[in-house]
Amino acid sequence: MNIRSIDSGICIDGFRAAGIKEGKYGVALIVSDKICEAAGVFTTNSIKGAHIPVDRKRLRNGLQAIVINSGNANACVKGGIRDAEEMCEMVGRELDIDPMHIGVASTGIIGRKLDLKKIEDLIRKVSLRLSDSPGGSESAARAIMTTDTKLKQVSFEYKGIKIGGICKGAGMIAPNLATMLCFLTTNADLDREILQGILERAVRDSFNLLVIDGDMSTNDTVILMSNRRKPCNSGDFQYLLSHTTREMAKLIAMDGEGATKFLEVELRGAKSKEDARTGARAIISSPLVKTAVFGENPNWGRIIAAIGSEINFDFEKTDILLESKKGKTYVVKRGRAMDLDKATDILKEKKIKIVVDLNSGEEKAVAWGCDLSPEYIKINAGYN
């Protein structure tokens, strides 16, 4: 039995959603018909958006709804936590839900006070639009976008287990989440502790191996809500959730700020899983690798330098293969430089895969990202 794509977004059985955007400011709502088990993963930045301590407390209570605003991060402002709680109370009044079962998230500029009047107005409008159709999920996904150019929504089914997800994120993407908000809904009937462990493992091999620019945000949040309608085993759920978050990581990489090319890096043959992850991240994080890919320049020396800056390996054993729709070719084989003509042609495509085999062990990791273009700088020089 295979994982199949379904057309619900986060509006799987029992979940409704809606979103609205007016100018720079957006609000999205995700609502369940019952209180859900909830799990979450948050930024490791020591400076955290005000919504994070609020969510941390409430995850334990279970969540029936989540409210998200875009355009303002509600971070580094006095009274931010109170404002985050106030957002939940507004939703509670509109939907007649106990605010202690409502989660909250913010994304946007740091250091500005939330405009609660504006947000209340948007919450009222959104509450009237809640829908259990895929369009409801889509409008929520659209409302949380900031510099994103593409709406990010997925939904999959496996053995009757369903998972829907929406996310945002285009820049400030470091190997630890980073300006990424992700909301997942599921029907999987599993306890909170089990959901939390499965979510952490899924994040580790997806969003934590995703790099746009190496900057880490104060607001990153991944929240999973489960209405427990479908009995299931945890292995099946892990399999489906890991697939879902990997697909979402790719959507974010493809929409990287200013990206002209999507980049997948596979590091194979490492001595340990940790070496494999660290090496793959080093490649995908390197500005010089990213600019070389932008320039369609098969400068493998930069790949080697990036790996070597983080882990020990034997260059004489190393293979580097470049791959795209145009085919594949080794640029380095057991430490020997190969002809680069075909490589240059391969790099002309939009989706590029770099496979590095250290030929020194059995472990591997895959990381995702994009090239670095002048457009990235334009976007970020002016953003405010």
Q: Which is nearer to a copy of itself, 100 or 109 (CB)?
A: 109
Is the CB of 29 or the CB of 276 nearer to a copy of itself?
A: 276
Nearer to a copy of itself, 181 or 240 (CB): 181
The dihedral built from the CA positions of residue 186, 6, 244 and 28, taken in this order, carries a sign that is negative
237, HSE (Cβ side, Cα atoms, 13 Å): 24
From the list 172, 130, 134, 174, the residue with the least C-alpha distance to 153 is: 134
Nearer to a copy of itself by Cβ, of 206 and 373: the residue is 373
HSE-CB for 5 with a 13 A CA cutoff: 5
Least distance from C-beta 75 to a copy of itself, angstroms? 7
> Shortest distance, CB of residue 360 to a copy of itself, whole angstroms?
12
Strand pairing category for 327-333 and 152-158: unpaired
CA distances from residue 356 to 181, 249, 264, 276, 334 in whole angstroms, order as listed: 30, 20, 11, 10, 11
Distance CA 9, CA 374 (A): 33
146 counts as catalytic: no
The alpha carbon of residue 21 and the mean position of all alpha carbons in its chain are separated, in whole angstroms, by 21
Residue tagged active-site, from 107, 146, 179, 185: 179
User: How far apart are alpha carbons 107 and 71 in whole angstroms?
Assistant: 6
* Helices of type H across the chain: 51-59, 80-95, 116-127, 134-143, 192-204, 234-254, 273-285, 287-294, 300-308, 341-346, 374-382
CA proximity to 250, closest of 291, 294, 205, 288:
205
Q: What is the distance between the alpha carbons of residues 351 and 362, in angstroms, rounded to a whole number? A: 26
Nearer to a copy of itself, 78 or 117 (CB): 78
How many helices (H) and strands (E) in the chain?
Answer: 11, 16
CB of 273 to a copy of itself, least distance (A): 18
Nearest approach, Cβ of 105 to a copy of itself (angstroms)? Answer: 16
Concatenated DSSP letters of 291-302: HHHHTT---HHH
CA–CA separation, 141 vs 384, rounded Å? 21
Question: Which tokens sit at 356?
Answer: 């590095």
Cβ distance to a copy of itself smaller for residue 229 or 271: 271
The site for a copy of itself (CB under 8 A) is made up of 44-48, 73, 75-78, 109-112, 171-172, 174, 213-218, 285-288, 291-292, 294-295, 297, 299-302, 304-309, 311-313, 315, 332, 335-337, 372-374, 376-378, 380-384
Is 23 or 382 the residue whose CB approaches a copy of itself more closely? 382
Rounded to a whole number of angstroms, the minimum distance from the CB of residue 109 to a copy of itself is 6
Tokens of 273: 């899983």
Does residue 287 sit in helix, strand or coil?
Answer: helix
Paired tokens of 162: 């369903």
- Minimal distance in Å, beta carbon 300 to a copy of itself? 6
Q: How far is the CB of 146 from a copy of itself (least distance, A)?
A: 13
Q: Annotated active-site positions, please?
A: 179
